[in-house]
Amino acid sequence: MRAVYLKMLPVFCIAALIVSPHVILAQESQHGTDQNTTSEQGPQQAKRTLEDLEQLALKHNPTLAQAADAIQAAKGRKLQAGLYPNPVVGYDGDEIRPGPITRGGEHGFFIQQDIVTGGKLRLSRKAAGEEQAQEEARAEAQRDRVLTSVRILYYKTLGAQQLLELRQHLAEVAGQAVTTSKQLYNVGQADEPDVLEAEAEAGVTQLAVVDAQNNRQRLWQQLAATVGVPDLPLTSLAGNLEHPLPSLSRDQTLATILAASPEMKAAEAGLRRAEWALQRSRVAPIPDIQFRGGMRHNRELLESPLGRPFGLEGFAEVGVQIPIFNRNQGNVQSAQAELASARQEVDRVRLSLEQRFAPAFQHYSNSLEAAERYQKDILPKAQRAYELYLNKYHEMAAAFPRVLIAQRTWFQLQEDYIGSLVRLWSAVSEIRGMLLTGGLETSGPTRQPMNTGTIDAQF
């Protein structure tokens, strides 16, 4: 047994290099990423923070510019809805014919103006103002969508970055084990199966590193596209998934969402707009006053000894349209139906928020429970089991394969722990973002909320 211990002692020394998950996560937040990443980026390149990415998104994401344009368009419609009808100025002629009496007829100008009654312009402005409020609420919702998407992708990319570091560390240990096994084989202290097993283990860890690198690259591309800068160079992210875990109250959080959700604000503005539109339809039959007046020069000769022309004459017309056949009854009926639909829309949005909140909060609760258990119970036990097997191997009371199994389990649990932290912060970002995701989805009156029933398990 002593000979076996001496034979495996170098391998044991390599395995003992593994550090705890808490050290790995802390090192990332304090000292940066792996050497390969540093060499690619340059030693002086600063890490990206979440705040940096949010500011880039607010500046470059095209959907936010679209939302701002929609607000300006609504402001223009509001301005137009309150403008008074333009007067009509024109030429007026009558009895235009040659002759000794008419002498070419009557010629002059007129001014025509419609006088709007019934408060139609005021009601049109009110309805257009609520349309502007709707667009402002949609712009707020789009801002939440963009920031929530950036935050979720930030945490996923940060998790992928830390997972890559973990797997690179394991691959480094596995590579050192291969080197040591070959050295032991050359001096007759190891068998060929030992070398082959070490090489196979190293190959598996290298594949895991490649998978982690590709996953990180994918997430970075998604993050850069959401930010609006698709050629944003890959850099390390600053942050720590283990900073104080968030605590949310179900009832209080749901109440906050229902009270502050921009989707609810848009629906309520739509309801008010429909109410004003119905009032506007009802006053539409009130006739506007049509006024027309002007001056003419009448060249017809007076029946008098002097034979002088009539000269300047004034004229005026006042009229109203009598609502006998068209009392706007079709538009009133349509406005009533739209008002009923707007009321249902408020209820629909409220129910939709509650429906989407349920799975989002479940993801949060499950992820928080998992992260806390990994942190306080599972990882310490796995670490303790590894240390105990290591001590028993020291005392030649346990076979080294048991040490390797405990080591492998510990690393896998570290990966699972990182995954639970990513899912936790993704769920928190979604909830704090009013359940709005889809940073490159266009906003608009007919846009349906994204289904947020699931959160990507592979961050």
Residue 262's closest CA among 148, 362, 341? 148
Are 297 and 393 in the same domain?
Answer: no
- Full DSSP string of 355-368: HHHHHHHHHHHHHH
On whether both 120 and 135 belong to a single domain, the answer is yes
Residue 125 counted as domain residue: yes
User: 133 and 184: one domain?
Assistant: yes
Long-range pairs, 340-346, Cβ under 8 A, ≥24 = 341/274, 342/267, 342/270, 342/271, 342/273, 342/274, 342/275, 343/271, 345/267, 345/270, 345/271, 346/264, 346/267, 346/268, 346/270, 346/271
Evaluate whether residue 442 is within a structural domain.
no
Residue 160 and residue 246 in one domain: yes
Predicted TM-score of the model (pTM): 0.83
Domain region containing 305: 84-115+287-322
Same domain, 77 and 144: yes
CB atoms within 10 A of CB 345: 17
Q: What is the pLDDT of residues 298-343, one digit of tens each?
A: 777 666 555 677 778 889 999 999 999 999 999 999 999 999 999 9
The answer to whether residue 299 is domain-embedded is yes
**Is position 455 within any domain?**
no
pLDDT (tens, 9 = 90+) of the chain, 459 residues, equals 334 333 444 444 444 444 444 444 444 444 443 434 433 344 456 899 999 999 999 999 999 999 999 999 999 999 999 999 999 999 988 777 776 655 667 889 999 999 999 999 999 999 999 999 999 999 999 999 999 999 999 999 999 999 999 999 989 988 888 888 888 788 887 788 878 888 998 999 999 999 999 999 999 999 999 999 999 999 999 999 998 899 999 999 999 999 999 999 999 999 999 999 999 999 999 999 999 999 988 777 666 555 677 778 889 999 999 999 999 999 999 999 999 999 999 999 999 999 999 999 999 999 999 999 999 999 999 999 988 988 887 777 766 677 778 888 999 999 999 999 999 999 999 999 999 999 999 766 544 333 333 334 345
Q: Are residues 314 and 419 in the same domain?
A: no
Tell whether 452 is covered by a domain: no
Q: Is residue 447 situated within a structural domain? A: no
- Domain CATH for 334: 1.20.1600.10
CA dist list (Å): 97 to 30, 104, 307, 371 = 99, 5, 19, 98
104-154 confidence digits (pLDDT tens): 678 899 999 999 999 999 999 999 999 999 999 999 999 999 999 999 999
**203 and 308 assigned to the same domain:** no
310 in the same domain as 218: no
Number of domains in the chain: 2
Helix%, strand%, coil% for the chain, nearest 5:
65, 10, 25
259 and 334 in a single domain? The answer is yes
Contacts of 379 (CB under 8 A, 6+ apart): 20, 21, 22, 410, 413, 414, 417
Contact 268, 289 (CB under 8 A): no
315 torsion bin: left (phi>0), alpha (psi -120 to 50), beta (else): beta
On whether residue 451 sits in a domain, the answer given is no
Same domain, yes or no: 31 and 102: no
Beta-bridge partner residues of 311: 298
Judge if 29 and 109 occupy the same domain. Answer: no
Same domain flag for 303 and 277? no
- How many Cα atoms within 13 Å fall on the side-chain side of residue 323? 12
C-alpha angle 391-392-398 in degrees, rounded to nearest 5: 145
* Residue 441 included in any domain: no
